[in-house]
Amino acid sequence: MKTNEFSLLGSELGLTAYGAALCGVVDGWPLTLINNSANHVQLSVDRRRDAALVKEINAVLKTWGGKVRGWNGNVMTLSGPSRKKMQGSAADYVRFCAFTLSHACLRPLDVCPYCGGGNCDAAAFSKKGYQAVHYRCLQAEAGKAHSKAESNRENGSYLLGILGAFIGMLVGTIPTFLTVVYMQMEYSVLFALIPICAYLGYKLFRGKMDKAALIVSIVMAVLGVFILNFEYFAFLIKHENGLPFSETLSVMPELLRDGEVWAAIAANSLQEFLFSALGVFIAWRLISGTAAGSAANADAALRLAQPFGQRAAYNGAANQNETE
Ligand SMILES: [Zn+2]
């Protein structure tokens, strides 16, 4: 579905955008719409996978070309509709999904993902998509995430982080190093490990979790490529002369002083740098799961919460107009 179509669908159903997804409550069902090729509808139901029910639901959704795509634990994913079998708008299909599940005697899961208790009073984006929660648990979760981020801001150290990243970077070069020494092969894809390990080292050594984590990972990725290539050069020179491996280290200082070697490495390592960049990208994704990142996520979850269920009676949610 095109992005503008998707956001139109969201406003038609009264859903809110959350990243690339839409979430909210449709006809009593908290759900998440995922904009992919199959237009997934994801909901938490009060039962676990039941083959007979899947058959029953599929038989109904088939009229729109939809089906139960997955049912893991309590999370059910429905796909469709297919273009050929559209019987109305995409919004109609989402409502039809909610209707079909209710008709199959399923109910939205009423178990708070944070405390495991029932009688939820809100719907919010949590671990498994948009689902019923206790508003107070959501608030407590946000409070915890904030104090964790706060303590990292106060106690995190750039210096220790950089040290950790350096050690992590060296660890990340080991697989490439070993394949070169023992297989005389170099797999560029392994270079992606360098920034990932550098980032993990940064985190492990309690580096301050802000933009510096990413910058340090990038610097270490570049440094790692150079270190590996210097070692590779040294290895080639010495190996060809039949000298033992330990001797290869002795030519390193000489190579490091040679500007031409630096230039050659920079010019010949395009692929390695590309895979390092991939690793940086992965590290960056990991960073959004850090203290500051999860505090921001918790805030977003609070913002997107809305009253839900029999006991819906809390104050302070942003979207109270949408379900009641
Ligand atoms: Zn709870």
Q: What spacing in Å lies between the alpha carbon of 130 and ligand 1's midpoint?
A: 14
Centroid of ligand 1 to alpha carbon of 120 (angstroms) = 7
Q: What is the pLDDT of residue 161?
A: 94
Q: What are the boundaries of each domain within the chain?
A: 3-109, 149-297
Distance from the alpha carbon of residue 315 to the mean position of ligand 1, in angstroms: 16
Q: Which residues contact 18 (CB under 8 A, 6 or more apart)?
A: 32, 125, 130, 300, 304
What is the whole-number distance in angstroms between the Cα of residue 117 and the centre of ligand 1? 5
324 residues of the chain, pLDDT tens digit each: 788 888 888 999 999 988 788 999 999 999 999 887 666 899 999 999 999 999 999 999 999 999 999 999 999 999 978 888 888 888 999 999 999 999 999 999 999 999 999 999 999 988 788 999 999 999 999 999 888 888 888 888 999 999 999 999 999 999 988 888 788 777 888 999 999 999 999 989 989 888 888 899 999 999 998 888 877 777 777 666 666 666 666 777 777 788 887 888 888 788 888 998 999 888 888 776 666 777 888 888 888 899 888 766 555 444 444 443
Half-sphere exposure of 253 (CA within 13 A, CB side): 2
Q: Give, for 120, the enclosing helix (H) or strand (E).
A: none
DSSP-H helix ranges across the chain:
3-13, 51-61, 90-103, 135-155, 158-183, 193-204, 211-240, 245-248, 252-256, 259-268, 270-287, 291-304
The pLDDT of residue 186: 78
Supply φ then ψ for residue 21, to 5 degrees. Answer: -115, 170
- Per-residue confidence (pLDDT) for residue 162, from 0 to 100: 96
Centre of ligand 1 to C-alpha 125, Å, is: 13
Q: What is the distance in A from the centroid of ligand 1 to the CA of 115?
A: 4
* CA 147 to centroid of ligand 1, rounded, Å: 19
- Output the CA 319–ligand 1 centroid distance in Å: 20
DSSP state of 82: -
E-strand ranges in 35-66 read 40-44
- Kindly list the protein residues that place their beta carbon closer than 5 angstroms to ligand 1, a single-atom ion: 112, 114-115, 117, 134, 137
Q: Which amino acid is at 121?
A: D
Distance 54 CA to ligand 1 centre (A): 29
CA of 139 to the centre of ligand 1 (A): 10
Burial of 178 (0-12, 13-18, 19+ CB in 10 A): exposed
The type of residue at 16 is T
Residue 16 backbone phi and psi in degrees, to 5: -115, 140
CATH of domain 3-109: 3.30.1460
| C-beta of residue 208 within 8 angstroms of C-beta of residue 152 | yes
How much distance in Å is there from the Cα of 49 to the middle of ligand 1? 24
| Ligand 1 centroid to residue 298 C-alpha, Å | 15
Neighbours of 234 (CB within 10 A): 22
Cα–ligand 1 centroid distance for 143 (angstroms):
14
Between β-strands 306-307 and 122-126, what pairing exists: parallel, antiparallel or unpaired? Answer: antiparallel
Residue 137 alpha carbon to ligand 1 centre in Å: 5
The rounded Å distance from CA 184 to ligand 1 centre is 56
